[in-house]
Amino acid sequence: MIHKMAFCPVVTGFAHLSCMGASDEEALAVFRGERPRPEPRPACSVIDSAIPDQVFHIDSFRTAPGELRTLAMIRAVVPRALEAAGLTPDMVRGSATGCVVGTTVAQQFTDTSYYGLLRNNPDTEENAPIEQFLNSNPAEAIAREYGLNGPVNTVSNACSSGADAISIAALRLLSGQCERMIVVGADELHRTPVAGFHVLGVTSPFPCRPFDSARAGLNLGEAAGAIILEKPECARQRGVKPEFALRGFGMSCDASHITAPDASGNGLRQAFRKALLRAGLNLGDIAFINAHGTGTILNDQSEAAAFAGLAEGSGLPGPPPFLSTKRLSGHTLGAAGTVEFIFTMLMLRDGLIPASPGCRTPDSALPCTPLTSPLTLPPEARFAASTSLAFGGTDAVLIAERMD
Amino acid sequence: MALHLLASSFTAPGPDLRWDDGFLRAERSRLGLGRRTDRMTAAVLSALDRLDSRQDDAPLLFGSMLGVQGRITAMQNDLLDFPEDQIGPISFSCSVHNAVPGAASICFGMKVPLFSLAGFDRLHERIFSLADAVLSAGDVRHAIVILSEERSAMADRTIKLLGFDPIEFAAVFQLKSAEDGDDEFTIPPGTDYLPWIRSQLP
């Protein structure tokens, strides 16, 4: 039994970094078609990888030799999100502020060079890479650096990690365990997932085309997003008038397959219904859906089935308009859920939803198809959803509210 | 934290602080798991299957410092041995941190929220505190916490650097919110994760 939330956590600040840029204006300009779309390049040309698959790499973001890229990206977005929320590091130090980071690459030891050294010489006295790993768990590192006194979690739920991080933060706030959460989703392009998705045969040789009849798979990418989520009274006491709130969230799992989503979309549909119940909303209240939309055959089939199934019996002629932004940023794994929730808020603010990027000929075999032309939202549009699916069968839905 | 422990279950290591591979083989067969189900997944599913009155609508909260080491090591070996980066697809799919709770959801048909946590600082306290938050939302009556570590050359070295003896275990705890008259589940303050787990093992 899902209950409507006692209060809706408010978003007092956010920041993002992806191939679309690092500012709201840059990202919105891409959505509006005022800036060229970022283009993917072969993985082997931008990271240490033998794989030629097309990926979205943030060339403008440089890291020093030995610096862990995901953590560096997190360190780039968190201060900007705090500043946007009107917070200084001193204001959060020692406060009931927690941190939850969704990531995949950054929580696993992936230093193959060091592993090779250890494999060849088990008695090596070199430990520096392990010590660096122990000190770099993302949520723990951020909590230490900012002296946070609230709950701390690094969540690694594969490609829904970023969305689940937001849900976890909401649960922490709703339970009264803290007043404020710094929520991050972040992942770098890395040799391991690039090789892994390649061998699974789900990568596209060309820029991805979510929901298109000729879609051939996904393009991996890298990104980081940070959101400051607070109890409403906490924001009020600081004199902050939030522009957005997390109106609802829902989590479920398919219990079907370890990598492939359930083509029926049942798990995602269940998560969506939970999110609507928590939000106290109906499907018709949702102005648009920013879908996970990876561009793989099965993901898009599963999501379209879920959206169409939600509309059945709702009295609506079909599901809310939907799009995928992955043609613009790539599939950014643990970052995707957070960054795409931020994109959802930006589009709600802008009131202009682009035609689903990369979808030229919608797949007529799908029970519903994405936006094929830009949509101007009516002024009363206040709610939008963002969906995530992941290995392990995880499904996550977040509902954003634009506040008056 | 106001939790009440309803039941717990373990796949404990032998005297060498490793799982008994003969036991894991037998459990794979008994549970109808594939022969190639990795050791950590087999150990966790075995413990979950032996949990008294398991509630299959309970969210699964999985915590591990180092994850599915057998799969991760296999992937690292592939990356070293095959310069074209041809890693094994099953190694990759099952190396992700949430593969274990994902496998549990499939094995037991649990269409529930899954939470997979990683970290080195008081991981046990943090996962039980999240279970408390999940239960506080009032949407579910039970939550299941799973903690597990698997040994490997990398894992052993990492655990030793943390100052502990490497150990394999799968520990499962079924909890509910504590009500009047319930014993409260507590973790002695300042107890590190691995010593605490060792104190819980049968």
> Is any Cβ of chain A less than 8 angstroms from the Cβ of B94?
yes
Which chain B residues are closer than 8 Å to A1 by Cβ? 139
What pLDDT shows up at residue B22? 97
> Is any Cβ of chain A less than 8 angstroms from the Cβ of B113?
yes
ipTM: 0.97
- The answer for residues whose C-beta is within 8 angstroms of residue A281's C-beta and 6 or more apart is A247, A248, A383, A399
Does A254 contact B76 at a Cβ distance shorter than 8 Å?
A: no
Residue B136 has its nearest CB partner, among A109, A112, A175, at A175
Does A119 contact B83 at a Cβ distance shorter than 8 Å?
A: no
The mean pLDDT value of chain A amounts to 97
- Domains of chain A and CATH, by start: 10-402 (3.40.47.10)
The mean pLDDT value of chain B amounts to 96
The predicted model gives B170-179 an average pLDDT of: 97
> Is any Cβ of chain A less than 8 angstroms from the Cβ of B92?
yes
> Is any Cβ of chain B less than 8 angstroms from the Cβ of A29?
no
Q: Report d(CA A244, CA A10) in Å as an integer.
A: 6
Does B101 contact A177 at a Cβ distance shorter than 8 Å?
A: no
- Any idea what the CATH number is for the domain that residue B28 is in? 3.40.47.10
| Chain-centre distance for alpha carbon A214 | 25
Residue A253 has its nearest CB partner, among B73, B96, B111, at B111
> Is any Cβ of chain B less than 8 angstroms from the Cβ of A264?
no
pLDDT cut 70: percent of chain A above it: 100
Q: Model pTM? A: 0.98
CB contact at 8 A, B164 and B124: no
User: Is B35 a residue whose pLDDT tops 80?
Assistant: no
Number of domains in chain B: 1
Backbone φ and ψ for A232, nearest 5 degrees, come out as -55, -40
| Chain B, window 117-146: residues with a beta carbon less than 8 angstroms from a chain A beta carbon | 117-121, 126, 129-130, 132-134, 136-139
Does A107 contact B118 at a Cβ distance shorter than 8 Å?
A: yes
The predicted model gives A381-394 an average pLDDT of: 96
The predicted model gives B83-96 an average pLDDT of: 91
Pairing of strands A97-102, A180-187: parallel
> Is any Cβ of chain B less than 8 angstroms from the Cβ of A194?
yes
Range of weakest confidence among A225-229, A371-375, B33-37: B33-37
Per-residue 3-state assignment (H helix, E strand, C coil) for A164-196: HHHHHHHHHHHCCCCCEEEEEEEECCCHHHHHH
Please name the residue of chain B whose CA is at the shortest distance from the CA of residue A254. B111
> Is any Cβ of chain B less than 8 angstroms from the Cβ of A109?
yes
| Chain B, window 56-85: residues with a beta carbon less than 8 angstroms from a chain A beta carbon | 59, 66-67, 72-73, 75-77, 79-80, 83-85
What pLDDT shows up at residue B174? 98
Q: Report d(CA A275, CA A269) in Å as an integer.
A: 10
What pLDDT shows up at residue A256? 87
Catalytic residue among A159, A178, A359, A368: A159
A107-151 pLDDT, tens digit per residue, is 999 899 999 999 999 999 999 999 999 999 999 999 999 999 999
Which chain B residues are closer than 8 Å to A49 by Cβ? 85
The predicted model gives B103-107 an average pLDDT of: 95
- The answer for residues whose C-beta is within 8 angstroms of residue A290's C-beta and 6 or more apart is A322, A323, A324, A325, A340, A341, A343, A344, A347, A384, A385, A386, A387
A301-359 pLDDT, tens digit per residue, is 999 999 999 999 899 999 999 999 999 999 999 999 999 999 999 999 999 999 999 99
- C-alpha distances (whole Å) from A10 to each of A57, A236, A237, A292, A380 are 31, 10, 13, 23, 19
User: What would the DSSP string read from start to end of chain B?
Assistant: --EEEEEEEEE---TTSS--HHHHHHHHHHTT--TT--HHHHHHHHHHHTSTT--TTS-EEEE-SS--HHHHHHHHHHHHH-TT----HHHHHTTSTTHHHHHHHHHHT--S-EEEEE-SSSHHHHHHHHHHHHHHTSS-S-EEEEEEE---HHHHHHHHHTTS----EEEEEEEEE--TTPPPB---TT--HHHHHHHH--
Burial level of A379, CB count in 10 A (0-12/13-18/19+)? exposed
Angle at B116 between CA A222 and CA B32, to 5 degrees: 115
User: Is A258 a residue whose pLDDT tops 90?
Assistant: no
User: Is A3 a residue whose pLDDT tops 90?
Assistant: no
Catalytic residue among A8, A331, A359, A368: A331
**A253 tagged catalytic:** no
pLDDT cut 90: percent of chain B above it: 94
3-state secondary structure of A45: helix
What pLDDT shows up at residue A65? 85
Does A393 contact B136 at a Cβ distance shorter than 8 Å?
A: no
What pLDDT shows up at residue A387? 98
Q: Could you give the residue ranges of the DSSP H alpha helices within A248-313?
A: 266-279, 297-311
Token digits for B152?
Answer: 């490997």
Per-residue 3-state assignment (H helix, E strand, C coil) for A325-360: CHHHHCECHHHHHHHHHHHHHHHHHHCEECCCCCCC
A265-308 pLDDT, tens digit per residue, is 999 999 999 999 999 999 999 999 999 999 999 999 999 999 99
Domain containing B70 equals 3-200
Does B111 contact A164 at a Cβ distance shorter than 8 Å?
A: no
Does A200 contact B67 at a Cβ distance shorter than 8 Å?
A: no
A152-188 pLDDT, tens digit per residue, is 999 999 999 999 999 999 999 999 999 999 999 999 9
Angle at A47 between CA A325 and CA A56, to 5 degrees: 10
Q: Report d(CA B161, CA A336) in Å as an integer.
A: 33
Residue B154 has its nearest CB partner, among A118, A156, A200, at A118
User: Is A255 a residue whose pLDDT tops 90?
Assistant: no
The secondary element (H helix, E strand) that includes residue A116 is helix A112-120
Backbone φ and ψ for B114, nearest 5 degrees, come out as -115, 135
User: Is B46 a residue whose pLDDT tops 70?
Assistant: yes
What pLDDT shows up at residue A145? 98
The secondary element (H helix, E strand) that includes residue A228 is strand A223-230
Location of structure tokens 């592993």? A115
Backbone φ and ψ for B144, nearest 5 degrees, come out as -120, 120
CB contact at 8 A, A126 and A206: no
CB contact at 8 A, A100 and A151: yes
Please name the residue of chain B whose CA is at the shortest distance from the CA of residue A123. B157
What pLDDT shows up at residue A358? 98
User: Is B1 a residue whose pLDDT tops 80?
Assistant: no
CB contact at 8 A, B21 and B36: no
